[in-house]
Structure 1
Amino acid sequence: MQLAKVLGQVVSTVKEPGLARFTLLLVQDAGGADPEQTRGAAYVAVDLVGAGIGEIVLIATGSAARVAAGADAPTDRAVVGIVDTVTRSGRTTYRKD
Protein backbone atom coordinates (compact mmCIF):
# COMPACT_ATOMS: atom_id res chain seq x y z
CA MET A 1 0.00 0.00 0.00
CA GLN A 2 1.03 3.58 -0.46
CA LEU A 3 -0.07 7.00 0.76
CA ALA A 4 -1.70 9.45 -1.63
CA LYS A 5 -3.65 12.71 -1.55
CA VAL A 6 -7.08 13.05 -3.15
CA LEU A 7 -6.99 15.87 -5.70
CA GLY A 8 -10.48 15.56 -7.14
CA GLN A 9 -13.17 13.36 -8.60
CA VAL A 10 -13.41 11.84 -12.08
CA VAL A 11 -16.92 11.59 -13.56
CA SER A 12 -17.56 9.02 -16.27
CA THR A 13 -21.18 8.43 -17.21
CA VAL A 14 -20.21 5.65 -19.63
CA LYS A 15 -17.97 3.00 -18.08
CA GLU A 16 -17.54 -0.74 -17.72
CA PRO A 17 -20.53 -2.15 -15.79
CA GLY A 18 -18.32 -3.48 -12.97
CA LEU A 19 -17.34 0.10 -12.15
CA ALA A 20 -20.90 1.46 -12.06
CA ARG A 21 -21.19 1.33 -8.25
CA PHE A 22 -17.91 3.16 -7.60
CA THR A 23 -16.81 6.77 -7.39
CA LEU A 24 -13.57 7.47 -9.23
CA LEU A 25 -11.01 9.74 -7.60
CA LEU A 26 -8.01 11.63 -8.97
CA VAL A 27 -5.10 11.04 -6.57
CA GLN A 28 -1.37 11.71 -6.41
CA ASP A 29 1.25 9.83 -4.40
CA ALA A 30 2.49 11.40 -1.16
CA GLY A 31 6.17 12.27 -1.25
CA GLY A 32 8.85 12.86 1.35
CA ALA A 33 8.33 13.19 5.09
CA ASP A 34 5.10 15.21 4.79
CA PRO A 35 2.23 13.13 3.36
CA GLU A 36 0.45 16.30 2.20
CA GLN A 37 3.28 17.00 -0.25
CA THR A 38 2.71 15.10 -3.49
CA ARG A 39 4.92 13.93 -6.33
CA GLY A 40 4.64 12.21 -9.68
CA ALA A 41 1.75 12.02 -12.06
CA ALA A 42 -1.84 12.05 -10.84
CA TYR A 43 -3.88 8.90 -11.50
CA VAL A 44 -7.41 7.55 -11.12
CA ALA A 45 -8.36 5.14 -8.32
CA VAL A 46 -11.63 3.44 -7.40
CA ASP A 47 -12.95 4.80 -4.09
CA LEU A 48 -14.03 2.02 -1.72
CA VAL A 49 -14.29 4.10 1.47
CA GLY A 50 -15.92 7.46 0.66
CA ALA A 51 -12.79 9.63 0.67
CA GLY A 52 -13.00 13.36 0.01
CA ILE A 53 -10.88 15.96 -1.74
CA GLY A 54 -7.75 16.88 0.23
CA GLU A 55 -7.72 13.71 2.35
CA ILE A 56 -4.69 11.47 2.70
CA VAL A 57 -5.63 7.92 1.76
CA LEU A 58 -4.21 4.41 1.52
CA ILE A 59 -3.94 3.05 -2.03
CA ALA A 60 -3.88 -0.65 -2.89
CA THR A 61 -2.46 -1.56 -6.29
CA GLY A 62 -2.53 -4.47 -8.70
CA SER A 63 -4.28 -7.66 -7.64
CA ALA A 64 -4.87 -6.28 -4.12
CA ALA A 65 -6.92 -3.45 -5.66
CA ARG A 66 -8.94 -5.88 -7.76
CA VAL A 67 -9.67 -8.12 -4.78
CA ALA A 68 -10.71 -5.14 -2.63
CA ALA A 69 -13.02 -3.80 -5.36
CA GLY A 70 -14.52 -7.19 -6.17
CA ALA A 71 -13.76 -9.49 -9.06
CA ASP A 72 -16.24 -7.74 -11.36
CA ALA A 73 -14.43 -4.37 -11.22
CA PRO A 74 -11.42 -3.89 -13.53
CA THR A 75 -9.03 -1.69 -11.58
CA ASP A 76 -5.33 -1.32 -10.91
CA ARG A 77 -5.68 1.11 -7.99
CA ALA A 78 -8.20 1.40 -5.17
CA VAL A 79 -8.60 3.73 -2.19
CA VAL A 80 -8.90 1.31 0.75
CA GLY A 81 -8.49 3.61 3.76
CA ILE A 82 -8.62 7.21 4.96
CA VAL A 83 -5.58 8.15 7.05
CA ASP A 84 -6.01 9.66 10.53
CA THR A 85 -2.35 10.02 11.50
CA VAL A 86 1.11 9.21 10.20
CA THR A 87 3.96 8.75 12.67
CA ARG A 88 7.51 8.51 11.40
CA SER A 89 10.50 7.88 13.68
CA GLY A 90 8.36 8.65 16.73
CA ARG A 91 7.17 12.00 15.31
CA THR A 92 3.67 12.65 13.99
CA THR A 93 4.07 14.01 10.46
CA TYR A 94 0.37 14.11 9.59
CA ARG A 95 -2.83 14.41 11.59
CA LYS A 96 -6.27 14.66 9.97
CA ASP A 97 -8.07 17.84 11.02
Structure 2
Amino acid sequence: MFIARVTGSVVSTQKVASMTGHKLLVVEPYRLEEKKRNKLVTTGRTFIAVDTLGAGENDFVLITQGSSARLTPETKSLPIDAVIIGIVDRVHIDKASVYSRD
Protein backbone atom coordinates (compact mmCIF):
# COMPACT_ATOMS: atom_id res chain seq x y z
CA MET A 1 0.00 0.00 0.00
CA PHE A 2 1.21 3.54 -0.67
CA ILE A 3 0.09 7.18 -0.66
CA ALA A 4 -0.51 8.94 -3.96
CA ARG A 5 -2.02 12.22 -5.14
CA VAL A 6 -4.74 12.26 -7.78
CA THR A 7 -3.45 14.33 -10.70
CA GLY A 8 -5.99 13.61 -13.41
CA SER A 9 -8.44 11.21 -14.97
CA VAL A 10 -8.62 8.84 -17.93
CA VAL A 11 -11.64 8.55 -20.23
CA SER A 12 -11.88 5.36 -22.24
CA THR A 13 -15.00 4.75 -24.28
CA GLN A 14 -13.69 1.46 -25.70
CA LYS A 15 -12.86 -1.10 -23.00
CA VAL A 16 -13.71 -4.58 -21.79
CA ALA A 17 -17.29 -4.87 -20.58
CA SER A 18 -16.34 -5.50 -16.94
CA MET A 19 -14.67 -2.07 -16.76
CA THR A 20 -17.76 -0.14 -17.90
CA GLY A 21 -18.83 2.35 -15.25
CA HIS A 22 -15.53 2.35 -13.34
CA LYS A 23 -13.80 5.70 -12.86
CA LEU A 24 -10.11 5.72 -13.80
CA LEU A 25 -7.77 8.23 -12.17
CA VAL A 26 -4.15 9.19 -12.76
CA VAL A 27 -2.28 8.96 -9.46
CA GLU A 28 1.24 10.02 -8.57
CA PRO A 29 2.92 8.18 -5.67
CA TYR A 30 4.40 10.31 -2.87
CA ARG A 31 7.01 9.52 -0.24
CA LEU A 32 8.39 11.17 2.84
CA GLU A 33 11.02 13.83 2.05
CA GLU A 34 14.33 12.13 2.85
CA LYS A 35 16.40 14.66 4.82
CA LYS A 36 14.01 16.74 6.93
CA ARG A 37 11.19 14.15 6.93
CA ASN A 38 8.65 16.94 7.33
CA LYS A 39 6.63 16.73 4.11
CA LEU A 40 5.50 14.41 1.35
CA VAL A 41 7.22 14.69 -2.03
CA THR A 42 6.53 13.10 -5.40
CA THR A 43 8.36 10.03 -6.62
CA GLY A 44 7.98 11.23 -10.21
CA ARG A 45 6.00 8.18 -11.33
CA THR A 46 2.37 7.83 -12.36
CA PHE A 47 -0.19 5.02 -12.35
CA ILE A 48 -3.78 4.56 -13.42
CA ALA A 49 -6.01 3.38 -10.57
CA VAL A 50 -9.67 2.41 -10.35
CA ASP A 51 -11.52 4.76 -7.99
CA THR A 52 -13.98 2.99 -5.70
CA LEU A 53 -14.54 5.93 -3.32
CA GLY A 54 -15.17 9.12 -5.28
CA ALA A 55 -11.72 10.68 -4.93
CA GLY A 56 -11.06 13.94 -6.70
CA GLU A 57 -8.16 15.79 -8.25
CA ASN A 58 -5.46 16.77 -5.71
CA ASP A 59 -6.76 14.33 -3.07
CA PHE A 60 -4.15 12.18 -1.38
CA VAL A 61 -5.29 8.55 -1.51
CA LEU A 62 -4.25 5.08 -0.40
CA ILE A 63 -3.41 2.73 -3.26
CA THR A 64 -3.02 -1.00 -3.30
CA GLN A 65 -1.49 -2.83 -6.27
CA GLY A 66 -1.14 -6.23 -7.81
CA SER A 67 -3.38 -9.11 -6.85
CA SER A 68 -4.41 -7.19 -3.70
CA ALA A 69 -6.19 -4.68 -5.96
CA ARG A 70 -8.72 -7.37 -6.78
CA LEU A 71 -9.55 -8.24 -3.17
CA THR A 72 -12.26 -5.63 -2.64
CA PRO A 73 -15.92 -6.50 -3.33
CA GLU A 74 -16.00 -3.80 -6.02
CA THR A 75 -12.92 -5.03 -7.89
CA LYS A 76 -12.87 -8.82 -7.45
CA SER A 77 -13.74 -9.50 -11.10
CA LEU A 78 -11.89 -6.60 -12.76
CA PRO A 79 -8.69 -6.85 -14.81
CA ILE A 80 -6.84 -4.22 -12.75
CA ASP A 81 -3.60 -3.86 -10.83
CA ALA A 82 -4.17 -0.61 -8.89
CA VAL A 83 -7.16 0.56 -6.84
CA ILE A 84 -7.89 3.49 -4.55
CA ILE A 85 -8.91 2.05 -1.17
CA GLY A 86 -8.85 5.19 0.99
CA ILE A 87 -8.84 8.99 0.93
CA VAL A 88 -6.18 10.37 3.27
CA ASP A 89 -7.18 12.91 5.93
CA ARG A 90 -3.87 13.26 7.78
CA VAL A 91 -0.34 11.83 7.85
CA HIS A 92 1.78 11.97 11.01
CA ILE A 93 5.46 11.00 11.12
CA ASP A 94 7.52 11.09 14.32
CA LYS A 95 4.66 12.94 16.08
CA ALA A 96 4.67 15.69 13.43
CA SER A 97 1.98 16.34 10.85
CA VAL A 98 3.35 16.08 7.31
CA TYR A 99 -0.04 16.33 5.61
CA SER A 100 -3.53 17.47 6.54
CA ARG A 101 -6.50 17.55 4.22
CA ASP A 102 -7.96 20.55 6.12
Q: TM-score surpassing 0.5?
A: yes
> Per-residue deviation at 1:70?
2.5
Shift of 1:30: 0.4
Q: TM-score, normalised by structure 1?
A: 0.91
Question: Paired residue for 1:96?
Answer: 101
Structure 2 unaligned residues grouped into runs of 5+: 34-38
- Percent identity, aligned pairs only? 38
Give CA-to-partner distance per residue, 1:48-67, whole Å, 9 cap, x none.
Answer: 11100001000011111112
- Name the aligned partner's letter for residue 82 of structure 1: I
Which secondary structure state, in structure 2, belongs to the residue aligned with residue 12 of structure 1? Answer: coil
Cα deviation code 1:8-44 (max 9, x no counterpart): 0111011111111210000010022423x21132110
Counterpart residue type for residue 88 of structure 1? I
Rounded Cα–Cα distance in structure 1 between residues aligned with 2:75 and 2:61: 19
**Could you say which structure has the larger radius of gyration?**
2
2:84 and 2:75 map into 1 onto residues whose CA distance is 13
In the alignment, structure 1 segments of 5+ residues that lack a partner are: none
**Normalising by the residue count of structure 2, what TM-score does the alignment of the two structures yield?**
0.87
1:34-73 correspondence runs (5 A): 34-35=39-40, 37-68=41-72, 69-73=74-78
Output aligned runs, 1:6-45, within 5 Å. Answer: 6-33=6-33, 34-35=39-40, 37-45=41-49
Cα deviation per residue 1:44-92 (whole Å; 9 max; x = unaligned)?
Answer: 0000111000010000111111122432211000011000000001111
Cα shift at 1:4: 0.4
- 1:11 and 1:91 map into 2 onto residues whose CA distance is 38
Count how many residue pairs are aligned between Structure 1 and Structure 2. 96
